[in-house]
């Protein structure tokens, strides 16, 4: 018997153990800005609204009618519940026959890795090159994958242009895949807010905006056929009962959604102002991206002061999640010391 080759492993943020290994200290000593997850967590503020019962742990998980209603109310339409959008990112390429796939260059690495692992032909192009190609409508892909807003650049595609491109691809029996993990603070930009062509697949995630990355809950919006394919590949009981329970209550909490959007917007602006003397190349609702002279050196300089960030060496980018206001002085001081 021969095992299959080890698939490509993509580096991610939230790897504080790595920082501690090289730079010392305990987790409590560190300001971890590496994951771009909201510093305000729905659970830490509202756990009393969703007390667990024995059935949440004893019974096999199922998607209740009340959760389906919560999903439809929050997102505006029904979708397939998955164990974080990451699960769907891995599985969707296995649902598509051999294809030419375009992916935004330098974007979230799991997309390219997943399509390559499934045997597809992957080309990474800049946003501008993608726009130019669709203007000319020549030599287009079978599948276009975008992250909107992009991670880590913070770049944004308008819903109008994505829908227009989807129509062009549909005429060629192509697919447009949009990862909207960071879009919740601007829901009006989400493709699910519009009448989508049937060849669009949208990934949404609870983790970033709600500060619930550990819950591992996401939703896929696509045609019934695609959702059924994904569901079959993912198998039974893909999301745990506690995760379903927390997600249902978090999605129902409309007052918290409004509060979260307002304070994330304010926090993003405050951090951008604090870092105005740096070369900011991307601002999103949950992260700020810098392009310093040497991103690796800057990451190391901050790490020596127990601040952990995410470095993208190939693009020479440094991404910082948003610190709470109480940590702004610490961050500002750290940048002052590495000058």
List pLDDT tens digits, range 108-149.
Answer: 999 999 999 999 999 999 999 999 999 998 899 999 999 999
Q: Answer yes or no: is 157 within a domain.
A: yes
Cα angle 292, 298, 302; round to 5: 140
Q: Answer yes or no: is 288 within a domain.
A: no
**pLDDT score of 28 more than 70:** yes
Mean pLDDT of 287-314: 96
Q: Answer yes or no: is 182 within a domain.
A: yes
Q: How far is CA 257 from CA 41, 144, 206, 248, in A?
A: 11, 31, 12, 13
Q: What is the pLDDT of residues 215-256, one digit of tens each?
A: 999 999 999 999 999 999 999 999 999 999 999 999 999 999
Q: Answer yes or no: is 123 within a domain.
A: yes
- What's the domain count of the chain? 1
Q: Answer yes or no: is 230 within a domain.
A: yes
Q: Answer yes or no: is 216 within a domain.
A: yes
CATH number reported for the structural domain that contains residue 97 in this entry: 3.40.640.10
Q: What is the domain extent for residue 62?
A: 43-254
Query: Would the pTM of this model clear 0.75, i.e. be above it?
Result: yes
Q: Answer yes or no: is 84 within a domain.
A: yes
Q: How far is CA 86 from CA 47, 99, 145, 205, 230, in A?
A: 25, 21, 14, 9, 12
Q: Answer yes or no: is 147 within a domain.
A: yes
């Amino acid at each position: 018997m021969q095992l299959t080759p080890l698939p490509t492993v993509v580096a991610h943020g939230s790897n504080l153990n790595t920082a501690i290994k090289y730079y010392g200290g305990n987790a409590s000593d560190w300001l971890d800005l590496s994951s771009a997850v909201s510093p305000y967590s729905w659970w830490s503020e509202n756990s009393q609204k969703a007390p667990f019962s024995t059935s949440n742990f004893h019974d096999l998980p199922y998607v209740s009618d009340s959760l389906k209603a919560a999903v439809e109310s929050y997102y505006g339409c029904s979708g397939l519940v998955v164990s974080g959008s990451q699960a769907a990112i891995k599985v969707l390429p296995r649902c598509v026959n051999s294809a030419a796939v375009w992916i935004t260059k330098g974007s979230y690495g799991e997309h390219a890795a997943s399509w390559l692992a499934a045997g597809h032909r992957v080309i990474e192009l800049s946003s501008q090159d993608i726009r130019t190609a669709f203007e000319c409508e020549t030599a287009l892909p079978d599948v276009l994958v975008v992250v909107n807003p992009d991670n880590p650049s913070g770049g944004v595609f308008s819903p109008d242009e994505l829908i227009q491109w989807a129509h062009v691809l549909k005429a060629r029996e192509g697919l447009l895949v949009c990862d909207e993990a960071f879009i919740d603070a601007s829901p009006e930009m989400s493709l699910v807010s519009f009448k989508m062509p049937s060849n669009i697949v949208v990934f949404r995630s609870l983790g970033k905006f709600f500060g619930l990355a550990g819950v591992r809950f996401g939703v896929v919006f696509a045609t019934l056929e695609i959702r059924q394919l994904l569901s079959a590949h993912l198998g039974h009981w893909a999301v745990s009962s506690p995760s379903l329970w927390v997600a249902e209550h978090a999605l129902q909490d409309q007052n918290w959604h409004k509060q979260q959007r307002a304070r994330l917007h304010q926090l993003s602006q405050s951090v951008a102002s604090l870092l105005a003397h740096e070369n900011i190349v991307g601002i999103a609702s949950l992260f700020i991206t810098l392009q310093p002279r040497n991103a690796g050196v800057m990451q190391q300089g901050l790490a020596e002061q127990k601040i952990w960030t995410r470095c993208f060496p190939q693009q020479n980018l440094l991404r910082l999640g948003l610190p709470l206001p109480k940590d702004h002085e610490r961050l500002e001081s750290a940048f002052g010391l590495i000058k």
